[in-house]
Amino acid sequence: MTMTFDALIFTDPRFSGGTSAAVAADVRAMSDAGLNVGLALVESVGFFQDADTENQSILQLSDLPGVTQVRLDPAKPLKCDIAFFHHPSVFENPVVKSAPVRASRSLLVAHQPLFLGDSALAFDPFRVQRNVQRQFGQSLLWAPVSGICRQQFRAYAPLLRMTTEDWPNAFDVSAWTPRRNKLQSPVLAIGRHGRAHPDKWPATGDEIALSLPAGPDTKISVMGADPAFLKDKGVDISDWSILAFNEQPVADYLDALDVFSYHHSPLWVESFGRTIAEAMLMGVRCVLSPALRPTFGSHALYGTPAEVPDMLDHIRANLDTERAAALDAREHCIKSYSTQSVVRRFEALKTDPGTGARSPRPDISPLIAAKKLVGFRRRRRKAQKGA
């Protein structure tokens, strides 16, 4: 007997960060809309560590109305309107179990940038496509989660076809309601939150300090930073308030800020920036690395760490204008990223012809991208022979 669904969600349950939060938000939105959802938990090979455990927030999705956890069995086909394969690296190697899928449309939701900050290829997208075709019988449209990802994937167009609309992270905006008016005085509360990964921070201690400049008119508060890492970088954190990761509910932490300042290592590419969208939803003005402009467009201020002090002076001198801009950014996020947008985007996918366009021009030319793919495959073969 063929099991039939409106949507089939393929994900490895061991994700613990933004990918798992995005998957959970999608499934909850589909459940709330009355869709019949199949949740297929796959086991990827070579991506997670042995110590990584299954995420309870993903396992509990099968308790939602209309959501069924399906067992993958090669003898039992699965049928759906749209199949969502989440995260390319999950499928770069064949997964442990699979099943034949009969879908009107299948998407690879690209929660991961194609190129790293040093322009090295992060994974082989054609290998991903081939594995999904062989194991599940499905051809793919790639669904970038952001403008940054879309810009990168154009390097392999038209061989890689994308959805015409991004599939960004979704949020239950009722959980992100500001209670405090921001930017009420020149004394600014500035901060950022996230996991304490070195690549999530600027490369030098001086750049870190400039991105979060302490002083009489600023109060610095960060959540999730590693004090030892910051001290080793030579950052003076004596005037900082440092909270452990998730020591406070994120919404409460963000509600106490006026400005969210986020800059990262040149080796890091932010596929979406969930923490940034959370800050915008809480009405916090965002000061970001220029690398994030393709995702957040006109809804933030952009500059290098060295430019942050002057940008804060600009905010202080224009509190009314910047407060209005922060509220506009919040409205943009509600419109673009709310869980209510998921079903609209789901319905649009049913008639999405996809696109293989290279325009606007990608940062990495197709010729360079082809050379990087050849080099990536050569290194992979060499590593396999040496294993």
Task: Write out pLDDT tens, residues 283-297.
Answer: 999 999 999 999 999
Span 92-107, average pLDDT: 97
The per-residue pLDDT for 356 is 92
The per-residue pLDDT for 2 is 80
pLDDT: which is higher, 362 or 31: 31
Span 352-380, average pLDDT: 91
Query: What are the helix (H) ranges across 161-297?
Result: 205-211, 227-232, 250-255, 274-281, 293-296
CB 162 within 8 A of CB 144: yes
Q: What is the residue extent of each domain of the chain? A: 3-170+350-386, 173-337
The per-residue pLDDT for 136 is 98
pTM over cut 0.95: no
Percent composition of the chain: helix, strand, coil (DSSP 3-state, to 5): 40, 20, 40
Span 171-183, average pLDDT: 95
Mean pLDDT over each residue of the chain, to the nearest integer:
94
For residue 57, count CB atoms less than 10 angstroms from its CB and return exposed for 0-12, middle for 13-18, buried for 19 or more. Answer: middle
For residue 16, pLDDT beyond 90? no
| Reported confidence tier of residue 153, pLDDT bands at 50, 70, 90 | very high
- The kind and range of the H/E element at 149 are helix 147-153
For residue 191, pLDDT beyond 70? yes
Per residue in 44-79, pLDDT (tens digit) is 999 999 889 999 999 999 999 999 999 999 999 999
Per-residue CA distances from 90 to 85, 123, 126, 140 (Å): 9, 10, 13, 15
Short-list 3, 26, 22, 10, CA closest to 345? 26
Span 337-357, average pLDDT: 94
pLDDT: which is higher, 308 or 359: 308
The per-residue pLDDT for 118 is 87
CB 306 within 8 A of CB 207: yes
Counting residues of the chain whose pLDDT is more than 70, the rounded percentage is 99
Identity of the highest mean pLDDT range in 115-119, 191-195, 240-244: 240-244
Return phi, psi of residue 136, to 5°: -120, -10
What does CATH list as the number for 173-337?
3.40.50.2000
Strand partners for 192: 222
CB contact burial 335-349 (16+ within 10 A = b; e otherwise): ebbbbebbbebbeeb
The per-residue pLDDT for 387 is 59
For residue 386, pLDDT beyond 80? no
| Reported confidence tier of residue 359, pLDDT bands at 50, 70, 90 | confident
